[in-house]
Structure 1
Amino acid sequence: MRVFDADRQEWAGDERETRFDGDQQMQAAKQGQVLRQAAVVLAVVGFCFLAWALGWKDEPQPAEEPGATQPTATDSWDGEGGSSAEPSAESSEETSAATPPPGYEALQDSEGFRSAVPSGWERTGRPSQYGMAVVEYRSSDGSRRLQVFAVMETSPYASLQAAQLESRKLDGYEVITLEENTDAPRKAATHEYRADEVAGESQSFTRHVIDHRFEAEDGHLYAIVAYGSDADGSGDEQELLDTALRWFCPPDTQCAAPSE
């Protein structure tokens, strides 16, 4: 059988036909191989595109520009700038608004506590076996005094009971009150008395004394004692004690602004 060889543009005989059939088979095999390679390439390209598309969707958001505002926490005022963080505007206004009564000044004692005493009073201190020194503030004429120290007993009332045993030995001692302050937010007790003789005083006149012992914000016990002349009444000693107590903040402690 003769066939027309389109490549050679001639008719081929049986021998040529055989060769033509072989050429066709080889050409078909080559075409199949090319198609398979093309399919592999297309599959690889498709996989790469799919991986890129998924990766693009999961890209992180752009980083925030430097200087962007972030919310910050603020600490409450500790009375003398002891806060580790910058105070908020609200706490700064509260600080500036809290001022001692006229004639008094707020101070941060070298023993670490905060309080308020009459302006111009002289400070002295002496060591104590209970840690914090016994601190005294005294008027220029020596007639009035404020004393601050730490207490060792288990409760303010127990401490005052022990102190009264010594106060009874004073000349002219007269108790006004010795009571536990049950309505106070923390444990507290007060011993108020008169005496013609008071330890640490050289002037001879009847003194009015208010000894207040209390539990402070740090959970420890302290005493604030106001001394003055009994001749002018008890109001000035009470004011002295109340002001010092209202402004008192123990060492290494953050306290709220003093109440009015």
Structure 2
Amino acid sequence: MLGALVVAVLVGVSVGVGVWFLIRDTSLGSGLGSGAGPTPSVTAASSPSPSPSSSSTASSSSTATGYRRAQDPVGYTIDVPKGWTRTEKQGQLAPVVVYDAPADGRRLQIFRLAEDTPARSLDLAENDPGYGFSRQPGYQVLDRASGTTWAELAYRYDDSDLGARQVVDHRFEAADGTLYAIRATGPASLTPALVREPLTRALGSFCPAETECD
């Protein structure tokens, strides 16, 4: 496994970057945008498009006003806005869970990381010469911050299908020591606070299965 990861880095297609390519806004729902390039093999999916989860695979309970607590079948608890639709797409190493707003184009994306630190993962996803999202048209960093166990990048870019988008990409160490990313995206026309709000709720409630969280 270690040898495979080394080879992947040498050819400029890291696992983390592959996951980024899989979860580009245009890769879910409307298909890949023009000029996206070939899909890295590390992001091979089990089906061409995700399918909405049924109530039998994602139970939930009430929580704060406007949100519900979802016991996600992937293996964690998370608060998500009521009425948002869950989809899941299987990457080579881990599933990518997506919650979509039906009305305003906002989205949450949650996935497990393969790199050894959140900062390393975010740096690879941003700067890989083949698939880093800094290569997207109109890319502009809005904010950047990090701590001992987390790293975050806020940016905007021009999506070929969805238009101008803003993103808050937060990568962190969960209570069980596993590394995850939660990305909030939305139209650039929305206020940054509105796009960030579901991410803040998700981070504050995120708890891996069979783990005691504060």
Q: Give me the TM-score of the superposition, normalised by structure 1.
A: 0.54
Percent of residue pairs identical: 40
The answer for the alignment partner of 2:70 in structure 1 is 107
Counterpart-to-counterpart distance in 2, 1:162 and 1:196: 20
Q: Is contact 1:100–1:243 with CA below 8 Å preserved after alignment? A: no
The answer for the alignment partner of 1:49 in structure 2 is none
Given the alignment of the two structures, is residue 145 of structure 1 paired with residue 107 of structure 2, yes or no?
A: yes
Counterpart-to-counterpart distance in 2, 1:142 and 1:111: 26
Counterpart-to-counterpart distance in 2, 1:236 and 1:101: 16
Q: State the Cα deviation string for residues 150-178 of structure 1 (Å, max 9, x = none).
A: 00111101110001121111111111123
The answer for the alignment partner of 1:157 in structure 2 is 119
| Deviation, structure 1 residue 235 | 0.3
Name the structure where helix makes up a greater proportion of residues.
Answer: 1
| Deviation, structure 1 residue 238 | 1.6
- SS for the counterpart of 2:83 is coil
Structure 1 residues 183-194: aligned runs within 5 Å: 187-194=149-156
Structure 2: runs of 5 or more not aligned: 1-61
| Deviation, structure 1 residue 141 | 3.4
| Deviation, structure 1 residue 142 | 6.2
Name the structure where strand makes up a greater proportion of residues.
Answer: 2
Structure 1 residues 206 and 101, CA, compared in 2 at 3 Å: closer, same or farther? farther
Q: Following TM superposition, where does structure 1 have runs of at least 4 consecutive aligned residues deviating by more than 6 angstroms?
A: none
Q: Which amino acid aligns with 1:247?
A: S
* Structure 2 residue corresponding to 1:168, chosen from 134, 142, 146: 134
The answer for the alignment partner of 1:120 in structure 2 is 83
Which gives a bigger RCO, structure 1 or 2 (Cα 8 Å, sep 6+)?
2
Aligned length: 150
Counterpart-to-counterpart distance in 2, 1:172 and 1:103: 33
Tell which structure's C-alpha radius of gyration is larger. 1
* Structure 2 residue corresponding to 1:178, chosen from 144, 153, 160: 144
Structure 1: runs of 5 or more not aligned: 1-98
Q: Is contact 1:108–1:115 with CA below 8 Å preserved after alignment? A: yes
RMSD, aligned α-carbons: 1.9
